[in-house]
């Protein structure tokens, strides 16, 4: 029997560990079995013997950490055994193939959220709330100041900004992370773009992974290729260039001609941080959606990752047992000396 006093998952030096199934979720180091929530580099690391992830996300994972990894895939909602645990993936709405991990042992259910959002995103499946006893939530934007309007027509806003700059003879350089944000923007622009969006090389291969999963992206062309096609002295005019921020340090950036810059991120809330324009477009849940999601899971115990102070206090006020992830150490659950404990 699983003892209710021993947590199904514990927070260890290598990351979130399930003793009943002998696997880690998004381990920080190389391990034998790594269950991966999604392909962002703070979740998917190289070196583990065996990986398990969602089928729709496997190409992104391989592009990021290596084509030759040993990896097994499952669809959303498909359950599989790992040791004494039953495990399944459920859509997290964060990027293509992103998942929450549901772990069940002897009728007790824990869910580790990974990164998630509730906002509409045409580049991936929507978030699926999953009932559980204990929920481990991310809280990148876990303070009340991070609240933004939902389901905005981001594509139309970006298209209007692009048109405005184009009519002033300028280019529009839009910065966003190369995995997830860039493809969300391309999906938003798919029905609106009047010519190909110029993309940086680092975005290209990842975007192709999305296309192969039948996600409709705006037409794209490599910015490097477009620049190579210009005659000497010619510069770009009226283009939308989608790139990571490092692009302005590259030597050929002088050929962009005149341009305006914008950044698409949840961090744009309240500040433009030196860009001409900011699009508040987050791939994480804001404060309201964190609170709503936690309540929808019905969890009676919650562990909070990343930014735990305000959210833990708020949940406690509402009568939910809430803790920072650091409290999920086995030491906190072991009986005091003199008691017997049989570890599962
Ligand atoms: Zn992420
Ligand atoms: Zn993350």
Looking at CATH, the fold of the domain delimited by 10-146+284-332 is given as Metallo-beta-lactamase; Chain A (3.60.15)
pLDDT of residue 266: 80
Ligand 1 centre to CA of 283 (Å) is 8
For the chain (344 residues), the mean pLDDT of every run of 10, in chain order, is 72 96 98 98 97 98 97 98 98 98 97 97 98 97 92 95 97 94 97 96 96 98 93 92 81 80 81 81 96 97 90 95 92 62 44
Provide the pairing of β-strand 301-305 with 50-54.
unpaired
Measured distance CA(151)–CA(102) in Å, rounded: 27
182/60 Cα distance (integer angstroms): 14
Instruction: Say how many Å lie between the CA of residue 249 and the centre of ligand 1.
Output: 25
Work out the end-to-end distance of the chain between its first and last CA atoms, rounded to an integer number of angstroms: 8
5-18 burial, b at 16+ Cβ within 10 Å, e below that, comes to ebbbbbbbeebbbb
Ligand nearest to the CA of 92: 1
Distance 184 CA to ligand 1 centre (A): 13
Q: Give start-end residues of each CATH 3.60.15.10 domain in the chain.
A: 10-146+284-332
**Helices and strands counted in the chain (H then E):** 7, 19
Output the pLDDT for position 336: 56
CA of 180 to the centre of ligand 1 (A): 8
- From residue 338, give the alpha-carbon distance in Å to each of 331, 334, 335, 341, 342: 15, 11, 8, 10, 13
Distance 131 CA to ligand 2 centre (A): 22
Which residue from 185, 189, 166 is spatially nearest to 259, judged by alpha carbons? 166
Distance 256 CA to ligand 1 centre (A): 30
All residues at 6 or more sequence positions from 135 whose CB lies less than 8 Å from its CB, including other chains:
110, 111, 113, 294, 297, 299, 301, 302, 303
154-279 CATH fold = Rossmann fold (3.40.50)
What does the chain come to in residues?
344
pLDDT at 252: 66
Report which of 309, 270, 342, 292 is spatially closest to residue 5, judged by C-alpha positions.
342
Q: Where in the chain is the domain with CATH 3.40.50.10890?
A: 154-279
Closest ligand, as measured to the CA of 138: 2
Q: Compute the distance from residue 116 Cα to the ligand 1 centre, in Å.
A: 8
d(CA 290, CA 147): 10
Buried b (16+ CB within 10 A) or exposed e, 139-153: bbbbeeebebeeeee
- Which ligand ends up closest to the CA of 140? 2
Q: Could you tell me which of 174, 61, 188, 77 has the C-alpha nearest to residue 130?
A: 77
CA distances from 249 to 8, 182, 245, 252, 254 (A): 47, 19, 8, 9, 10
């Amino acid at each position: 029997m699983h003892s209710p006093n021993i947590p199904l998952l514990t927070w260890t030096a290598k990351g979130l560990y399930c003793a009943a199934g002998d696997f880690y979720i998004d381990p920080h180091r190389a391990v034998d079995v790594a269950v991966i929530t999604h392909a962002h580099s703070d979740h998917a690391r190289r070196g583990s013997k065996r990986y398990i992830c969602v089928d729709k996300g496997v190409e992104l994972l391989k592009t990021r950490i290596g084509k030759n990894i040993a990896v097994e895939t499952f669809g959303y909602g498909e359950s599989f055994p790992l040791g004494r645990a039953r495990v399944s993936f459920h859509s997290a709405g964060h990027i293509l193939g992103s998942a929450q991990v549901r772990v069940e042992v002897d009728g007790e259910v824990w869910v580790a959220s990974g990164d998630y959002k509730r906002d509409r995103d045409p580049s991936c499946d929507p978030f699926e709330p999953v009932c559980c006893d204990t929920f481990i939530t991310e809280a990148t934007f876990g303070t009340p100041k991070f609240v933004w309007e939902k389901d905005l027509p981001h594509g139309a806003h970006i298209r209007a900004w692009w048109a405005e700059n184009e009519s002033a003879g300028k280019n529009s350089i839009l910065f966003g992370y190369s995995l997830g944000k860039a493809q969300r923007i391309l999906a938003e622009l798919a029905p609106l773009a009047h010519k190909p969006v110029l993309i940086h090389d680092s975005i290209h291969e990842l975007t192709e992974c999305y296309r192969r999963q039948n996600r409709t992206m705006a037409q794209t062309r490599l910015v490097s290729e477009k620049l190579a096609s210009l005659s000497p002295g010619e510069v770009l005019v009226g283009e939308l260039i989608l790139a990571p921020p490092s692009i302005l340090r590259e030597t050929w950036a002088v050929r962009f001609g005149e341009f305006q810059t914008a950044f698409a991120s949840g961090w744009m809330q309240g500040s433009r941080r030196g860009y001409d324009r900011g699009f508040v477009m987050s791939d994480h849940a804001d404060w309201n959606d964190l609170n709503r999601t936690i309540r929808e899971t019905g969890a009676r115990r919650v562990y909070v990752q990343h930014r735990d102070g305000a959210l833990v206090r708020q949940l406690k006020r509402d009568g939910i047992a809430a803790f920072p992830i650091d409290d999920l150490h086995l030491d906190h659950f072991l009986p005091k000396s003199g008691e017997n404990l049989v570890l599962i």
